[in-house]
Amino acid sequence: MRAYHLTSAGGQARLTDLPDPVPGPGQIGVTIRACGLNFADLLMLKGTYQDTPSLPFTPGMEIAGVIDSLGTGVTGLTPGDRVAIYSGQGGLAQRGVFDAARVVKIPDEMPFEHAAAFQIAYGTSHMALDYRARLQPGETLLVTGAAGGVGLTAVEIGKLMGATVIAQARGDDKLAVAKAAGADHLIGADEDLRARVLELGGADVVYDAVGGELWKAAFRACNPEARLLPIGFASGEVPQIPANHILVKNLTVIGFYIGGYLKFRPEAVTQSLATLIGWYLQGRLKPHVSNLLPLDQVEEGLALLRDRRSTGKVVITM
């Protein structure tokens, strides 16, 4: 099988031929049809991600495909089932072997590229806003990096949950994408984010995918008892959180990493995905795949993320 594989630290991942994997106990073999790209894939390839696999490895954190084989002890699944899997790695290949506990069946009405674009972005936003931040109808949600693959889903899900959504993004084209996803108010990169959010009544929940100066401004635009979610650090700067300010304003900073739930509570992830797929079938969610590329153009796809030129998700097809 062909796979985009990294063999050494500091080296360059390359498309190469690898032996077909064989599922072990509790695992399934999958013919992969599509793999969603994430900023975390870039960090893994650099060796700076908090959950980088041991070398050698194939990146690709979320896949969709068809089960082609079963390991011993697997029940409730059969070859031919269409499935989505938050794999964590191994997605940028023609085939893969994954733990059956991570599998969610997908309906025939859901294209593979939507299923592959769906899991991390929508799953992160749904679990972060609902399970962790307890976003309530009528509250104000601020989303930074709101036109990115994850930020855009936070706009969409926040609106579905009844919040007033303020979206921050760079450029008119990205702001237009956020508006189409349901944002009530838009803030461009050249605007004073703190001042604009306070003009709009302040933020009750902050979903920050950027970090750096935007985090600092968002932090200062919070209402008392606001909840802040540091989701990602696309700016390259991990923010430092002043504990004295948290105390004075009665703020809550909530850690959330969806990949961690795969290790200590995987059923929370699969339950969230089942809810989201139900919303998708009702027409309430509309995944935005901005770029669909074949496996031999995976480096071009990663460059779109690195240069922040994508709006929505970049998906690789096999």
Q: Note the pLDDT tens digit of each residue in 4-16.
A: 999 998 899 999 9
Judgement on whether residues 80 and 155 belong to the same structural domain of the protein: no
In a domain, 127, yes or no: no
Residues of the domain holding 7: 2-119+262-317
Query: Which of 317, 287, 286 has the alpha carbon at shortest distance from 301?
Result: 317
Judgement on whether residues 68 and 113 belong to the same structural domain of the protein: yes
In a domain, 242, yes or no: yes
Cα separation of 56 and 64, whole Å? 22
pTM for the model:
0.83
Domain boundary among 220, 253, 286: 253
pLDDT of res. 49: 87
Which of the four pLDDT bands, split at 50, 70 and 90, describes residue 23?
very high
pLDDT of res. 182: 94
**Mean pLDDT computed over every residue of the chain:** 94
pLDDT of res. 315: 97
What percent of the chain clears pLDDT 70, i.e. is strictly above it?
100
Judgement on whether residues 103 and 190 belong to the same structural domain of the protein: no
pLDDT for residue 83 is more than 90: yes
pLDDT for residue 196 is more than 80: yes
User: Six-digit token pair at 100?
Assistant: 């059956």
pLDDT of res. 35: 98
User: Six-digit token pair at 114?
Assistant: 């939507």
In a domain, 162, yes or no: yes
Q: Note the pLDDT tens digit of each residue in 26-37.
A: 999 999 999 999
Domain boundary among 236, 253, 270: 253
Judgement on whether residues 11 and 96 belong to the same structural domain of the protein: yes
Cα separation of 137 and 102, whole Å? 31
pLDDT for residue 143 is more than 90: yes
Q: Note the pLDDT tens digit of each residue in 146-174.
A: 988 789 999 999 999 999 999 999 999 99
In a domain, 144, yes or no: yes
**What integer is the mean pLDDT of 47-64?**
93
Which of the four pLDDT bands, split at 50, 70 and 90, describes residue 69?
very high
DSSP letter (8 states) at residue 76: S
pLDDT of res. 259: 84
Judgement on whether residues 242 and 307 belong to the same structural domain of the protein: no
**34 in Cβ contact with 112 (< 8 Å):** yes
Judgement on whether residues 6 and 115 belong to the same structural domain of the protein: yes
Residue 217, domain CATH: 3.40.50.720
Judgement on whether residues 108 and 22 belong to the same structural domain of the protein: yes
Q: Note the pLDDT tens digit of each residue in 184-194.
A: 999 999 999 99
pLDDT of res. 127: 96
Q: What angle do CA 66, 111, 61 make, to 5 degrees?
A: 65
Judgement on whether residues 79 and 171 belong to the same structural domain of the protein: no
**What integer is the mean pLDDT of 263-271?**
85
Cα separation of 231 and 146, whole Å? 12
Residue 91, domain CATH: 3.90.180.10
Judgement on whether residues 185 and 217 belong to the same structural domain of the protein: yes
Judgement on whether residues 158 and 50 belong to the same structural domain of the protein: no
Q: How many domains does the chain have?
A: 2
**What integer is the mean pLDDT of 295-304?**
97
In a domain, 128, yes or no: no
pLDDT of res. 178: 95
Lowest mean pLDDT among 132-136, 232-236, 246-250: 232-236
Judgement on whether residues 163 and 224 belong to the same structural domain of the protein: yes
